[in-house]
Structure 1
């Protein structure tokens, strides 16, 4: 079924409300076993609420959303075909994205496969909500490039703050601040970790909705022009934290001891 032909709301989809008790239960399990990263997905699902779903519905029914649905691009395949972007200018978003993905050893398809470890594609309702949430997932690493946040522990937490302001999933915000608390506790650093996550929220709130953009057009722009056009500010406090970590002799990659999935949250819906 093509994207434009999907129903908005599949009968099998349950739009759960805010479930804080459930989230705390799964968070305790995550703290007890940091390798049990499935708990992250349960926390996000428990705290998702309905605001992100309302945003998804508004977008897919808008002229911009309808245009993207008609094009029905396979974003992971497009993003992973680096040969398509070989002729782009050195400072284009595309070239920055390709360098980022190669440096980090990542693929967009790898993110898709990681997200299906918790709930397979066949078990997910095929509707326009899912199309929108998949789009958020598929653009996660492009969010990194556009926002300026790295894949270090704090960079991932700040990007979750940024993503929450963009997509209104309170589970994402919970993970961001729970992770910040853990990082602060384990590292003992004087770096303004919580302020950096709050800065991510402010930057995300001030920026245009990244997932609502035409990705192919965005990739062709010079990175700084794209950031200016989208209203993405500089992550000043995040960079200040990294400098503090270095001065304290801490690893900038993981100055604390965060669960791996907290650092690599791949399903920001």
Structure 2
């Protein structure tokens, strides 16, 4: 029995009738100009997550739908949709996650989210602020799944929420799911750090390592997140080919040696200079 079907009109859908792509969904339009404008806005306020979503909307990948089709119209995709229809309730149930063994991915995830004051539901809420309509199709399920595993990627890779850490996670994500949006934010962001922070820190090496790690790591979107959370963190990293982020840690070491706070890289610049950069 196949995990999908095609109706008379040629519309692909899962065996339960869920459409691969709702025909009402607008065709994405590629605009590098819009993406760059949102990127400049993001540089001014990196906490305004909506700019990130707008960048990705402006730079749609032609490979996205084939990736959605390959996973969702498979028996594996059917199983994941049945077991993990929406990740935020799973990821935000810290009481349940804390019952998993110490040293697990789950404990590290809870530690990270609680220390940063984050939640998976909060990230979803930021995306909802864009006001985009919901279609309930497989494209939506896949897209939400990619979005909702962002902070889990921080935990697995060891990259923090500082400026460089975010660039590295986005480049790791590009290795997993290539799009020009990841490249723009990741590498242009790295260049911005190198331009505005005079230092000998190996920023470019850190970003290249993150990109290579994402390529070597199997796609998280196709994994059982419940099973991943239950794994020992070190064992999970070994299985996923995720090495210690050596060059990222070296950047932090050098910055601190130079009197630069890695979590406030523009601290020594005046506001006008920071905006101009």
State the TM-score, normalizing by the size of structure 2: 0.84
> Alpha-carbon deviation of 1:132?
0.4
Kindly provide the CA deviation profile for residues 115-170 of structure 1, in whole angstroms up to 9, marking residues without a partner as x. 111234xx133210110010011111111111111111111110000001101121
Q: Which deviates more, 143-152 or 40-49?
A: 40-49
Alignment map for 1:1-150 (pairs within 5 Å): 5-16=17-28, 18-27=30-39, 38-120=50-132, 123-150=133-160
Q: Is the 8 A contact 2:105 2:232 kept in 1?
A: yes
> Alpha-carbon deviation of 1:110?
0.8
How far apart, in 1, do the equivalents of 2:106 and 2:30 lie?
38
How far apart, in 1, do the equivalents of 2:200 and 2:247 lie?
13
Kindly provide the CA deviation profile for residues 76-101 of structure 1, in whole angstroms up to 9, marking residues without a partner as x. 11111111123222101111111111
Instruction: Give 2:206's match in structure 1, choosing from 187, 196, 209.
Output: 196
How far apart, in 1, do the equivalents of 2:179 and 2:217 lie?
17
Aligned pair count reads 254
Q: Is the 8 A contact 1:162 1:205 kept in 2?
A: yes
State the TM-score, normalizing by the size of structure 1: 0.86
Instruction: Give 2:256's match in structure 1, choosing from 226, 246, 250.
Output: 246
> Alpha-carbon deviation of 1:218?
0.9
How far apart, in 2, do the equivalents of 1:212 and 1:31 lie?
32
> Structure 1: any 5+ residue segments left out of the alignment?
258-269
1:125 is paired with a residue of what secondary structure? coil
> Alpha-carbon deviation of 1:44?
1.7
Q: Is the 8 A contact 1:19 1:46 kept in 2?
A: yes
Q: Is the 8 A contact 1:3 1:131 kept in 2?
A: no
How far apart, in 1, do the equivalents of 2:230 and 2:94 lie?
13
Do residues 153 (structure 1) and 176 (structure 2) align? Answer: no
1:91 is paired with a residue of what secondary structure? coil
How far apart, in 2, do the equivalents of 1:30 and 1:41 lie?
11
Higher relative contact order (CA 8 A, sep 6+): 1
How far apart, in 2, do the equivalents of 1:137 and 1:179 lie?
19
Larger Rg: 2
How far apart, in 2, do the equivalents of 1:3 and 1:241 lie?
49
Instruction: Give 1:165's match in structure 2, choosing from 167, 175, 178.
Output: 175
Q: For the structure 1 residues 179 and 16, does the alpha-carbon distance in structure 2 shift closer, same or farther, using more than 3 Å as the test?
A: same
Q: Which deviates more, 33-42 or 247-256?
A: 33-42
Q: For the structure 1 residues 183 and 62, does the alpha-carbon distance in structure 2 shift closer, same or farther, using more than 3 Å as the test?
A: same
Q: Which deviates more, 245-254 or 22-31?
A: 22-31
